[in-house]
Structures are given as C-alpha cells and as structure tokens.
Amino acid sequence: MTIDNLVQIDHVTFGYDRRRLILTDVSLEFPRGKVVAIMGSSGSGKTTLLRLIGGVIRPQSGTILFDGEPVDPSDTDKLFAVRRRLGMLFQFGALFTDLNTFENVAFPLREHTNLPDSMIRDIVLLKLNAVGLRGAASLRIAEVSGGMARRIALARAIALDPELIMYDEPFAGLDPISVGVTANLIRSLNDATDATSLIVSHDVEECFQICDYAYLISSGRVAGHGTAAQLRASEDPEVRQFIRGEPDGPVRFHYPAGPIEQDLGLSG
Amino acid sequence: MNPLDLLAALGARVMGWLNALGHASLFFGDLVRHTPAALRRFDLVVVQIYAIGNLSLVIIITSGAAVGGVLALQAYYALDRYGAAESVGLLVALSLLRELGPVLTSLLYAGRAGTSLTAEIGLMKAGEQLAAMEMMAVDPRSRVLAPRFVAGIVSLPLLAAIFSAVGVGGAYLIAVKLIGIDSAAFWSQMQDGVDVFKDVGNGMVKTIVFGVASTFIALYMGYESEATPEGVAKATTRTVVFSSVTVLVLDFLLTSLMFSIKS
Amino acid sequence: MEKKNLETLVGLFVVLGAVALVFLSLKAANLASFSFDSTYQLKASFDNVGGLKIRAPVKSAGVTIGRIKSISFDDKRFQGVVTMEIDRRYQFPADTSGKILTSGLLGDQYIGLDPGGDDKNLQPGDSIKLTQSAVVLEDLIGKALYGKAAEGGGNRQKEGAK
C-alpha cells in the first residue's frame, strides 16, 4: 500500500531559539505526483520548512514524515537514505565553483553510484538536455549567467531521478523569459518523471499557473490553503492581501513607530 | 558602571570564550574523525596538495634563499671577530633546521595557503555549496574539509624541508662564493655539529605540529565566517593572526621540550 | 588531461620535498658519516666523563669509527660507564686505551681510542681497561696555580740558602 502523501508535516513547531518561534503548529500535506507551492512573505518560515523536510533541523514538536517514515536528523544512515531520494534546488543554484558544468551535474552520480564514466556521461548530457543546456556542458561556473546557473543546478538536482524535488525561490531575480522557462521546466519535469514537486516562492502568478495546490504561510502559521481557484476566492484578509498584493492589510505597511508629529518635533 | 553589571559582562565574555573553545575543539575532532574518509579519496587530497603546496613553492623558495643568504652574511660579521668565520655554515644550518625553517615556513604558509583556505571555505559556505552537498547526502566534512586538512599536514613539512635546504644553499652561495670561506670547512663544520635526529628530526616534528594547527585554524575560521564579503575578509585576517600566534607559542613550548633536555 | 597534469606536478612537489630532506640529512647533518647496522658494543669506565654526550663520536687516529650509545653510573666503583657502538669493520686489540678528548679548545668532547699491541682483539661486550678521564678545567687551573706556587717557593728557598 503506497502512502498518498509523499511528505507530511504534522503539527510542527520550530524555532532556532526557544523564545522566537518561526513555525507554530503547522500541518501540510504533499501528495504524490503533485506540484505544491508554499507561499508567504520573506521571513515567514518557508525555507525553514524545506530544511525540516531535508532533516537539516529538528522540530521542537510534531513530526515530519517522508514516505510514511519520520525524518530523524540524528539517524545519519536513515537520513542519508532519505536525502538520496530527494533533490533540492537552492535559491542561487549553489553550484560547486571549483567544478565545471558537466562535473557539477555528474557529482551526485559519482558520489552515490558506481556507474562507469561512459554511462555517467550519457546521463549528464540527458539531464542537461532536459533543461536545455547540453551545449553548455564544458563551461566553468564563473562563465554562466544566473538563469543558466539555476538550470544547471536543476539538472544536478534531478541527476538521480529523485522522488521529491524541492525548489527554494526558483523565480526570484529572473527575467520574464527565464521565469517562464523555469516554470515550464518544473511542471514538465514533474509530470514526465512522476515526481512530487515542492515550490517555495512568493511569486503568486507563476505558482498558480503550474501548481496543483498551495499553502500560504504567514507569521509562522498556515494562513490558508487550497487550489489556485480556491485561494483566489478566499475571504480571509491575510490571504487576500497576499494574493492581490495589497500594500496594507494584516501585514502592516508601517514598521511600528510613534506618531510622526513626535519625530518631526511638532507639538500637538 | 555598576560593578555587578561589569561582573556579569565579564562572565558573559568568559562564557563566550569557553563556548568558542568547545566549538573549535569539536570541529577539530570532526576533522580528525573524517581523515580516514579523506585518505580513501586520495585524489581529492592530491588536488589540495597542489593548491596548498605547489602554489606556495615560489614564495617558500625565494624566502628560503633570502633568509639563508642574509643569515650567512650577518653570522659572518659576528663570527669573524672571534676567528670562527668557518662556522658560518654550522650557525646557519642550526638556526634554519631548528627554528627558522619550521617557524618562518609556517608563518608564510598561514599567509599564503591559510588565507586562501579560509576564503575558499567561507565563500563555499556563503554560496550554500556546503548545504547543497549535505542535501545531496554527501558529508562536506569528508569531501571538502578533511582532504584540505590532510593536504596541509602533508605539505607543510615538505615546504619547510625545501625552505631549509634552499636556505643552506643560499648560505653556501654567500659564504663560499661571495665571501670566500673554504668550501670544505663550511660543510665539515656543519656536518660535525648538526645531528640528524636532534636538529633535522625535531625540526620536522615541529612542522608537523604547526601544520596541524595552522590548517585547522584556517579551515575553522572559514567555516565559521559570516556569509558576507566583510565576514570572509575578517575571517582571513583572523586566520593569519591566530595561526601566527599559535605557531610562535607552540614553537616556544616545543623548543623547551626538545632542546633543553640533555640527551 | 588536466587531472594527470596536476598529479604529476604534485608528485614532483613531493619528490622535491623528499630530496630537500635527504640533502639536509646527508650534507648538512651527520647521517652519512655513520651507518647504523653492523656495529658491536664496547664499554669503558672513566673516573670523570666530563661533558661527553650521547651520540658523540668515537674516533681513532682522528677518524670516526663509532658512536656513544649510552652513559651510566657504576655505583660499586663510582665510575661513569660509557657504552659505545663500534663499526663492525674495525677490530681493536685487547689492550686498547680510551681517552676523552675535546675537539678544538672549547668544542664538544669525544672518545679517542689508541690501539695497543695485543694479538687478541676486543670482543663484543668487552670493556676497555686503560682509560683516561676528561680534563676538567678547574683541575687544570688548580695544577697551574700549585705549580706556580711551588716554583715560587722553591726559588725563595734557593735565595734563602744563598
């Protein structure tokens, strides 16, 4: 019996120190084969969720299940086994600067398999082809643009055909064409390989275009969740402010301060 | 300021140091623990030996020759007064083998190789390369840190030997070719007074200890640096300062252990 | 390929370091002057070993033929016992004598062996019977002063007798 949700986050609370909690009692589900978006403003805890799933940090309370098994950072063997089944695309690529494009994509293959060089070569070229960069295989990392770097990182993330692919702000800082290319890649890769994709982003429109389901994280809690249509129709003020991009709402425009008359020295 | 506040501040400072010391010791333990893994991937170590050792050769050789030559010159002026000019070789050789070779090479190493290690590790951390590696189920300590640690320990003694050898060569050029001291006397005085175990051997032991310390400090500073350009710059400065002080202190300790016990 | 090149260079670096080390050991230090296998031990007791140190040379006719292995104290005869390792190639007569000499005026001390005339040779583990202790500077000064004083006294006697 296969579990429906590849990843499940159950009532997780987390904070780097006891006083300031980043996430409070959040629960999320990521069904197999679906593309799910985690949205929210900067600092809301979205990236923290990725680190929890990857077992980099441990929640104060609650559990994180990967394919039905809890993710335990202290069990190194089990953790590494889990990590081999997932691929992560970091925000700026996090490519290894001392290796060239080809070697970067080949890295997971060389480290985790005993495949002969000829097979590795074929797989790397196929992965680079999938992201449209087969011709850039010999370029050094210093020679590639930001958008290209992210695509190379994507090729590296899928080198071992992972079941779960996590994207940390894949659209941030890209020009419109690159954004379109990336969104397209995420969706088509997911469908072609039957993987589960998890996108952390604050680009509402792009996410809605490609995702099956989305969660909105605000102030460390799940403020809303649903399909794109459901979220667009939501009456919740936090959801509405975020989806519509309204400058003021539950998330205040003004940083807390006293009355302006005081600062300008005008008497009341 | 309230004396109680002062005390609390001092206490916090001390706690901070203890914390840092403990953190550093754990890091050192990690390096040592992952060394066998690094030795199994010797190709990684070789790449690092090139970066740390080969690329330091120019500065080591030039400095070695210069120091050897200058020492010979200065020693000659002093020794000639007592009619002992022929002992120049002996003086230079002992100074180089016991002290200047290990210490100067380590200081140069901290400046050249140490800072590049710190900057490299710091930038890798800032660019999330180490985190990415972890997510790919590859332990960065085995793959990135330990090979550099091993390479440093291997390279520094070799560099120090080259430094001392070139130094003796430089002294020979100055003393015999320039000043005109008898070549045979130069070498025989040296050979009579320099002991393989006591002088060459102890010097090598020193360099191994210095190599462990400097490389560890360089890697630690890089690993703990802030993920900003200023953070990396601060870290490289710290590497040079800490390494230099540590090498000099260790030198004092080792010298008193090695050279004052009557053999 | 890039990698092969790198490995060659690193190999060269290691070789360079090893050569430097060998150079230092042979040319600068005393490794070449004595081989470490094929030695046999001889002992010698001295009333005063002076500043003799371990690994100091044992010479005969000015040529280094051995090294001092250890120095210990014999509390039955209250003498210093020096154990030497002599190159197996060289045998010495049973009545060879050993002296503690100084190289130069203020240099390191070493043992000099003067061969005797006996037909039989010293066997491994034998002791050298005839020994001359180190010259102690204070004794030398004392002797000089005493000698001078005696001379002065003798002259006065002669004068007094006149």
Q: Which candidate from B127, B135, B138 shows the least CB-CB separation from A54?
A: B135
Range of A151's domain?
92-160
Q: Is residue B81 a contact partner of residue B179, using CB atoms and an 8 Å limit?
A: no
Q: Residues near B232 by Cβ (< 8 Å), separated by ≥ 6? A: B118, B119, B122, B123, B126, B222, B225, B226
Cβ-nearest to A83 among B123, B129, B136: B136
Residue (of A79, A84, A91, A83) closest to A109 by Cα position = A84
Q: How far is A132 from chain B (nearest CA, A)?
A: 22
> Total domain count for chain B?
1
Instruction: Flag whether A32 is in a domain.
Output: no
For the stretch A215-268, pLDDT in tens is: 999 888 888 899 988 888 888 888 888 888 887 777 777 788 888 888 888 865
Q: Which stretches does DSSP call E strand in C18-162? A: 39-46, 57-60, 63-74, 79-87, 97-102, 109-114, 127-128, 130-132
Taking 50 as the threshold, does the pLDDT of residue A1 lie above it?
no
Among B34-43, B234-243, C25-34, which is the least confidently predicted range? C25-34
- Closest alpha carbon within chain A to B130: A94
pLDDT at position B70, please?
Answer: 95
Rounded CA separation B58/B149 (Å)? 22
Does a structural domain hold residue A115? Answer: yes
Q: Is the pLDDT of residue B1 over 80?
A: no
Q: Could you give the CA distance from residue C43 to residue C79 in angstroms, rounded to a whole number?
A: 12
Query: How many Å apart are CA A233 and CA A252, to the nearest integer?
Result: 22
Residue B196: both structure tokens together:
């393989």
**Cβ atoms of residues B145 and B121 within 8 Å:** yes
* Nearest alpha-carbon partner for C42 in C123, C133, C103, C131: C123
Q: How far apart are CA A257 and CA B3, in angstroms?
A: 34
Q: Is the distance from CB of B91 to CB of B196 less than 8 angstroms? A: no
Q: Are chains C and B in touch, 3+ Cβ pairs below 8 Å?
A: yes
Residue-level pLDDT at B239 = 95
Which helix (H) or strand (E) segment is A254 a member of?
none
The amino acid occupying position A30 is F
Q: Is the pLDDT of residue C157 over 70?
A: no
Is the complex ipTM higher than 0.85? Answer: no
Nearest to B135 among A88, A92, A111 (CB): A88
Amino acid at A183: A
Asked, for residue A136, whether it belongs to a domain, the answer is yes
Which of B161, B164, B263 has its CB closest to that of C53?
B263
CA distance A267 to B3: 41
Place C29 in a pLDDT band, splitting at 50, 70 and 90: low
Cα gap A220→B1, rounded to integer Å: 40
Is A139 part of a structural domain of the chain?
Answer: yes
Which of B128, B137, B143 is closest, CB to CB, to A94?
B128
Give the span between the Cα atoms of C52 and B61, in whole angstroms.
Answer: 38
Which residues on adjacent β-strands are paired with residue C60?
C63
Q: What are residue A88's DSSP bridge partners?
A: A166
Min distance B181 CA to chain C CA atoms (Å): 16
Binned at pLDDT 50, 70 and 90, residue C1 comes out as very low
- DSSP string computed for B116-151: HHHHHHHHHHHTTHHHHHHHTT--HIIIIIHHHHHH
- Looking only at the bridges linking them, the beta strands covering A5-14 and A23-31 are antiparallel
- d(Cα C58, Cα C67) in Å, to the nearest integer? 5
Question: In this predicted structure, what is the pLDDT of residue C145?
Answer: 83
In this predicted model, what pLDDT tens digit does every residue of A136-173 receive, in sequence order? 888 998 888 888 899 999 999 999 999 999 999 999 88
In a domain, A20, yes or no: no
pLDDT at res. C86: 87
CB pairs A-B closer than 8 Å: 48
CB C97 within 8 A of CB C114: yes
Give the pLDDT score at C69.
85
Give the H or E element holding residue A201: strand A196-201
pLDDT band at B262; cut points 50, 70, 90: very low
* For residues A27-51, average pLDDT: 88
B124 and chain A: CB distance < 8 Å anywhere? yes
- What pLDDT was estimated at residue B263? 42
Please indicate if any CB of chain A lies within 8 Å of the CB of B18: no
From chain B, the residues in CB contact with A86 under 8 A are: 135
- Please name which of C76, C127, C68, C133 lies closest in space to residue C101, comparing C-alpha atoms: C133
The pLDDT score that the predictor gives to residue B165 is 94
Chain B contact for A95, CB < 8 A? yes
**Is B46 in the A-facing interface, judged by CB distances under 8 Å?**
no
Tens digits of per-residue pLDDT, A45-88?
A: 888 899 899 888 888 889 999 988 888 888 888 898 899 899 99
Q: Which of A54, A90, A111 sits opposite B138 (nearest CB)?
A: A111
pLDDT of residue A105: 95
More confident position, B1 or C48: C48
Shortest distance between the Cα of B111 and any Cα of chain A, in A, equals: 22
- Domain count of chain A? 1
Do chains C and A touch by CB distance (3+ pairs < 8 Å)? no
Q: How open is the CA angle C8-C10-C16, to the nearest 5 degrees?
A: 105
List the 179-208 stretch of A: residues with Cβ below 8 A of B.
none
User: Does A54 reside within a domain?
Assistant: no
- At A2, give phi and psi (nearest 5°): -85, 140
CA atoms of C31 and A239, how far apart (whole Å): 83
Q: Which residues of C touch B (CB under 8 A)?
A: 3, 6-7, 9-10, 12-14, 16-21, 23-25, 27-33, 53-55, 103, 108
pLDDT-above-90 percentage for chain B? 69
Contact (CB<8Å) A86/B124: no
Residue C103 has pLDDT above 80, yes or no: no
The answer to whether position A79 is within a domain reads no
How far is CA C139 from its chain centroid?
Answer: 21
Answer yes or no: is A65 within a domain: no
pTM: 0.80
Amino acid at B25: S
Chain B residue with CA closest to C15: the answer is B158
Q: Per-residue pLDDT for C150 more than 80?
A: no
Q: Provide, for chain A, the percentages of residues in helix, strand and coil under a 3-state DSSP scheme, each rounded to the nearest 5.
A: 40, 25, 40
Of the partner residues B162, B168, B194, the one whose CB lies closest to the CB of residue C30: B194
Are B134 and A56 in contact (CB < 8 Å)? yes
Minimum Cα–Cα distance from A111: chain B residue: B138
- What integer best gives the mean pLDDT of chain C? 81
The separation between the first and the last C-alpha atoms of chain A, rounded to the nearest angstrom, is 71
Query: Could you tell me the pLDDT band of residue C26, with boundaries at 50, 70 and 90?
Result: confident
Give the whole-number percent of chain C exceeding pLDDT 90: 10
pLDDT above 80 for A14: yes
Q: What is the pLDDT of residue A15?
A: 87
Percentages of chain B per state (helix, strand, coil), in multiples of 5: 90, 0, 10
Judge: C10–B53 Cβ closer than 8 Å, yes or no.
yes
Shortest CA gap B109–chain A (Å): 22
Q: Environment class of residue B83 by beta-carbon count within 10 Å: exposed (0-12), middle (13-18) or buried (19+)? A: exposed
Which residues of chain B lie closer than 8 angstroms to C33, CB-CB? 191
Specify which residues A168 forms β-bridges with. A200
Summarised one tens digit per residue, pLDDT across range C39-90 is 888 889 888 888 787 778 888 888 888 888 889 998 888 888 999 888 888 8
Q: What number of CA atoms fall less than 13 Å from residue A115's CA on the CB side?
A: 18
Instruction: Give yes or no for a contact between A46 and A217, defined as CB atoms under 8 angstroms apart.
Output: yes
Q: Which chains touch C (3 or more CB pairs under 8 A)?
A: B
Residue of B48, B136, B142 to mutate for A, most A C-beta atoms under 10 A = B136
What percent of the residues of chain C are helix, what percent strand, and what percent coil, each to the nearest 5?
30, 30, 35
Helix axes B202-223, B146-172, angle to 10 degrees: 140
For the stretch B181-228, pLDDT in tens is: 888 888 888 887 787 778 888 999 999 999 999 999 999 999 999 888
Q: Provide the β-strand partners of residue C84.
A: C42, C68
State the residue range of the domain holding B202: 3-259
